[in-house]
Amino acid sequence: MALEYAILGFLNYQPLTGYDLKKVFDRSIRHFWHADQSQIYRTLSRLTEDGAVKMEIVEQTDRPDRKVYSITPAGRERLLNWLKQPFPDEDSRSKPLVQMFFSGQISDERILEKLTEALEGMRRQMAMFDLVPDQVREFTSMAKDDRELFYWFLTLELGKRSLQTNIDWLESVVDRIRRQDYSTEIGFKKEFDSE
C-alpha cells in the first residue's frame, strides 16, 4: 500500500519513467522502503488502471520508446488525502527479536558469532546511510524548497538514530555475553532453586 503512495509522491514532483522511479527510490528512500523494478511496474500499471496515473509513450529514434508516467488530478487528490491521515501503525513483528528471545537455547559462542555478523551488517548499513545525501543530490531539484527537503532528510535522521541505538544495544549485549553477565538493564533476574 505505501508503495503506491511513494510512487504518487514522486510523480507529484515530476513525470518519470519506471526506470527513473527505481533510480530515485534507490537513491532516496531505500533506507526505509525498498521496491524492486517489477513491483514498481506492477504498481504503475494498477495506478494507471485506477486513473491515478497516466502513461504517455515518448518515441525515440535510437532506443526503445519510453513510457513516461505522470500523476492525474485524481491521483494527486488521493496522495494528499493519504498524507493528511494519521500515521499508519508500525508493524511490531521482528524476526531477529524472535530469534533473540530463544537464543538462550544455543551456545554463547554461536550467538556471539551471529551478533558480530549483525553488528558488521549494521555498520555497513550506517556507512550506506552516510552516502544518501550525495546520492540524492541529483533529485533535490524535484523539491520546491528547503522545507520540503527538511522532511526528506528527517527520514534519514530517524534511520540513522534508530540504527545507532541498535548498534549500541548489540555492542552492550555482546559485552555482557562475553563477561557472562546475564543481568538485564531492566533489572529482571529470576532466582533459581539450587535443588
pLDDT digits (tens, 9 = 90+) for 131-171: 888 888 888 888 888 999 999 899 999 999 999 999 999 99
Q: Helix, strand, or coil here: 69?
A: strand
List the domain range (segments joined by +) for residue 120: 95-178
Q: How far, in Å, CA of 142 to CA of 147, rounded? A: 12
Is there a single domain that holds both residue 132 and residue 61?
no
Using a cut of 0.85, tell me whether the model's pTM lies above it: no
Same domain, 8 and 76: yes
Task: Name which of 28, 17, 174, 152 is nearest 100 in CA terms.
Answer: 174
* Vertex 95 angle, CA 161 and 31, to 5°: 35
Q: Residue 195 above 60 pLDDT?
A: no
Q: Identify whether residues 125 and 146 lie together within a single domain.
A: yes
Sign of CA dihedral 96, 98, 100, 106: negative
- Report pLDDT digits (tens) over 31-89: 788 889 999 999 999 999 999 999 999 988 888 889 999 999 999 999 999 999 998 88
172 and 111 belong to one structural domain:
yes
Asked whether residue 20 falls in the same domain as residue 75, the answer is yes
